[in-house]
Amino acid sequence: MTAADSYTPDSATASLEILTGPARGTASWLAGPTLDVSLDETDMIRIAEAGSEPLQDGVVARLHRSGESYEIEAIEENPLWINGERVESKQLEQRDLIEFGDNGPLSRYRLHRQGDRIRRSLGDMLDDAIDYTRASRKPRITRLQRAIVDFLYDFAVKTTVIFRIGVILALILLAWIAYQQYRSSIMLQQQAESSAHRLEDFSRSLTRTSEEALRPADLNRLRQELRHSLSDAAQRLEQLEQRGAASTRVIAAATPSIVFLQGAYGFRDIESQRMLRYQVDADGQPLFSLRGQPLLTLEGDGEIARRQFTGTAFLVGSDGALLTNRHVALPWEDDTGLEVLMGQGMEPVITRFLGYAPGIERAFPVDLLKASEKTDLALLSCREVVDELPYLRLSTRPPQPGDEVIVMGYPTGLRAMLAQTGDSFLADLQQDDHLDFWEVAKRLSAARFIRPLASRGIVGQRSETTVVYDADTTHGGSGGPVLDVNGEVIAINTAIIPEYGGSNFGIPVGYARSLLIEAGYEAK
């Protein structure tokens, strides 16, 4: 509450609170049956009982006692404004705003009980500012500026120190809360944008999967290519086999041990354990963004969003141990666009992981046993077929520059194998309305077309961590064995340089031997 005036006439029943002008903040008490109101040159209000004393300046208004209140009237055409409207006379009511003359001060009329003290709260100050802004006839900007200045003046001068400190502390608290809410809103917005971006990244990845998938048009194009010539992969294999009996023997012996890997993974919310799915409409049809990418959600019952992948592995023990690359066993690590997704409460989950081996028509499940933390290697298991597959031996002799090597695997995944099938097989596939990523591999295996490709080259360089050779390979061949002329593994194929086909990289077999020992397997 504000400080009160120290004097209140006992007979006073009404007052005028001066809101503007030199006497702003004071109150003039009204007592007597008839009162005259005049203004001096400085717009000071003077109120005196009619006939009791002459006023220095002309009377501009007269107040007449009327019951418990007063009636006011304008004198000699002097303008009189009540609540922003010009009047000749009016019965005054509680809180009426009175303006004397065109430039006179603004006053508020108040009625009081006998002995009341005038106290003005912060609310009264705000009311004064609002009333002045509403009732004054001055330009809007001038009214607003004046109201703000007057309110700040009243707050600074006519309130107690404790009250001012309390208000200031409350304002500081409100400002702090508002700032925290602003920061929270910004963080929520950033999280929403991050979530949208990470979903968009995964959608883009799924779009790439769709683009990489085999479609009827792709099969038709393969058929046309086969009518004119053999594929490059088949030609390389034929040329390699013709170059020497040793190479033929190594390839034939190693082929049953080379496993074609086929898998898919999705993402799961760690907290809710819900899988990321395609967003569908009421008819169950997938929805797409304006960019043509599928919309994803953790809600609903749409199909789980899966990213498909292929790779190569090879058997290294009679207990079903398979060696491959870490980036094949954990394919999301090879996609930098998904890093944000994994860092925002989502975890990758392998939804299906199968292996196919030459000569075995059925697919078999593959499990991850251990991924190396030091290099791009991983150990898998295929225990269901251990009795049917031979395994490759790991060389104990490090390769030397100039040594001949043979790289085996499944470069380009399904496409290279389809290129070797022939026109009739492709024509049959085109007739299958249920053709998909998994069905193509199943059909290839049933027709015994699951066979690795081989390419020959020489070692160009060897270091402690890398073997460099010029044997041809490409994506999909990752994880395949690099063999010497004795058919022993000297390295695991891991990377290619697209810009320079003359150099491909392998991981020395010593690292593979160490990984087997760490996982509790006997290194052969």
Query: Would you place residue 230 in the very low, low, confident or very high pLDDT band (cuts 50, 70, 90)?
Result: very low
pLDDT for 323: 96
Q: Which residue type does 100 have?
A: F
Distance in angstroms (rounded) separating the CA atoms of residues 365 and 441: 14
Distance in angstroms (rounded) separating the CA atoms of residues 106 and 94: 15
In 3D space, the residue among 185, 203, 205, 329 whose CA is nearest the CA of residue 263 turns out to be 329
**Which tens digit of pLDDT belongs to each residue from 175-212?**
898 888 888 777 766 655 555 555 555 665 565 555 44
Give the SS3 label for residue 261: strand
The number of residues in the chain equals 524
In 3D space, the residue among 297, 280, 308 whose CA is nearest the CA of residue 346 turns out to be 297
b/e map of 269-306 (b: 16 or more CB within 10 Å)? eeeeeebbbbbbeeeeeeeeeeeebbbbebeeebeebb
Query: Would you place residue 216 in the very low, low, confident or very high pLDDT band (cuts 50, 70, 90)?
Result: low
Distance in angstroms (rounded) separating the CA atoms of residues 490 and 483: 6
pLDDT for 229: 47
**Which tens digit of pLDDT belongs to each residue from 289-300?**
877 788 888 888
Distance in angstroms (rounded) separating the CA atoms of residues 236 and 231: 9
pLDDT for 59: 83
Distance in angstroms (rounded) separating the CA atoms of residues 381 and 278: 31
506: its two tokens:
């392998």
Phi-psi region of 444 (alpha: psi -120 to 50; beta: other; left: phi over 0): alpha
Tally helices (H) and strands (E) across the chain. Answer: 12, 26
Distance in angstroms (rounded) separating the CA atoms of residues 356 and 452: 11
Query: Would you place residue 19 in the very low, low, confident or very high pLDDT band (cuts 50, 70, 90)?
Result: confident
Distance in angstroms (rounded) separating the CA atoms of residues 308 and 213: 9
Provide φ and ψ at 364, rounded to 5°. Answer: -130, 150
pLDDT for 404: 93
b/e map of 63-87 (b: 16 or more CB within 10 Å)? bbbeeebbebebeeebebbbeeeee
Give the SS3 label for residue 254: helix
Instruction: Please name the residues in contact with 385: beta carbons below 8 A apart, sequence gap of 6 or more.
Output: 320, 355, 357, 360, 364
Distance in angstroms (rounded) separating the CA atoms of residues 82 and 219: 91
CB atoms inside a 10 Å sphere around CB 208:
14
In 3D space, the residue among 420, 414, 476, 481 whose CA is nearest the CA of residue 441 turns out to be 414
Q: Does CATH place domain 194-518 in 1.10.530.10?
A: no
Distance in angstroms (rounded) separating the CA atoms of residues 69 and 63: 10
Quick check: 71 pLDDT over 60? yes
With pLDDT > 90 as the criterion, what percentage of the chain qualifies? 27
Quick check: 223 pLDDT over 80? no
Please state the domain extents for the chain: 14-159, 194-518
With pLDDT > 70 as the criterion, what percentage of the chain qualifies? 79
Distance in angstroms (rounded) separating the CA atoms of residues 252 and 310: 23
Contact criterion met (CB below 8 Å) for 298 and 276: yes
pLDDT for 202: 60
Quick check: 367 pLDDT over 70? yes
**Which tens digit of pLDDT belongs to each residue from 130-160?**
877 777 777 888 888 888 888 777 777 766 6
**Which tens digit of pLDDT belongs to each residue from 378-391?**
999 987 776 778 89
- Per the listing, tokens 């994994």 go with 342
Quick check: 350 pLDDT over 90? yes
Distance in angstroms (rounded) separating the CA atoms of residues 426 and 226: 10
132: its two tokens:
């002045």
Question: What is the architecture, at CATH level 2, of domain 14-159?
Answer: Sandwich (2.60)
Measured in Å, how far apart are the chain's first and last C-alpha atoms? Answer: 92
Radius of gyration from C-alpha coordinates of the chain: 46
Query: Would you place residue 431 in the very low, low, confident or very high pLDDT band (cuts 50, 70, 90)?
Result: confident
**Which tens digit of pLDDT belongs to each residue from 452-498?**
999 888 998 999 999 999 887 777 788 999 999 999 999 999 876 65
Give the SS3 label for residue 508: strand
**Which tens digit of pLDDT belongs to each residue from 30-64?**
888 888 888 877 778 888 887 766 555 678 889 99
**Which tens digit of pLDDT belongs to each residue from 328-347?**
999 988 776 666 666 677 88
* DSSP line for 467-506: EEE-----TT-TT-EEE-TTS-EEEEEEEE-TT-TT-EEE
Give the SS3 label for residue 450: coil
Query: What is the Cβ-side half-sphere exposure of residue 322, based on CA atoms within 13 angstroms?
Result: 35
More confident residue, 467 or 125: 467
More confident residue, 164 or 486: 486
Distance in angstroms (rounded) separating the CA atoms of residues 153 and 132: 15
Contact criterion met (CB below 8 Å) for 420 and 225: no
**What average pLDDT does the chain have?**
80
Query: Would you place residue 7 in the very low, low, confident or very high pLDDT band (cuts 50, 70, 90)?
Result: very low
Quick check: 524 pLDDT over 70? no
Distance in angstroms (rounded) separating the CA atoms of residues 303 and 189: 28
Q: Which residue type does 368 have?
A: L
296: its two tokens:
């994803």
